[in-house]
Amino acid sequence: MPFHDDLDGAYDIDGLCDDYLNWPAPKQRRVLYLDGEMPAPTMQERARAIAGFDPPDDLDEWFRLVTPDLQEHSTPDLSTKDGQARLEPYLTDVDVVVIDNLSTLCRTGVENEAESWLPVQGWLLVLRRRGISVMVIHHAGKSGLQRGTSRREDVL
């Protein structure tokens, strides 16, 4: 899925548009978009293009953006308890989290080993129990399938 589709999907989910991939968004949802590689000005420019160049006044209330260059320290490593804890302040009142992408935001462990995925899987399950939906963006490998362990698909 190209980047614009990911960001467009997040914008549609926040309810400021009618639907995403023919799924209606009957109610506005607060979206936290975690980006692991793009600079904030580029993300903001693309978000404005999707929202139209006259975005709603309350866009920041519904769509929150975290990018590497907006962090005081390095981008949180979501495969560690510390990295997950660093995101906690951003999760207040959020309905949906978009993780874009696993390669840049989950840096600890060996990508091909199933055991390395367990800390992330546990955190995703905690978010689900809290009522927070998660959209995970991941790069394809050379074969065209996902990179790394297939264990990532176990709790979809």
Structural domains in the chain (count): 1
Looking at residue 54, which CATH number applies to its domain? Answer: 3.40.50.300
Residue 74 lies in domain: 3-153
pTM of model > 0.95: no
Residue-wise pLDDT tens for the chain (156 aa)?
A: 444 455 666 665 555 455 555 667 678 889 899 998 888 888 888 877 776 656 667 777 888 888 888 888 888 999 999 999 999 999 999 999 999 888 888 888 765 566 777 888 899 999 999 999 998 886 655 666 555 555 455 665
| 40, 65 contact by CB (below 8 A) | yes
51 neighbors 45 (Cβ within 8 angstroms): no
Q: Which residues contact 32 (CB under 8 A, 6 or more apart)?
A: 64, 66, 90, 91, 94, 96, 97, 98
Residue count of the chain: 156
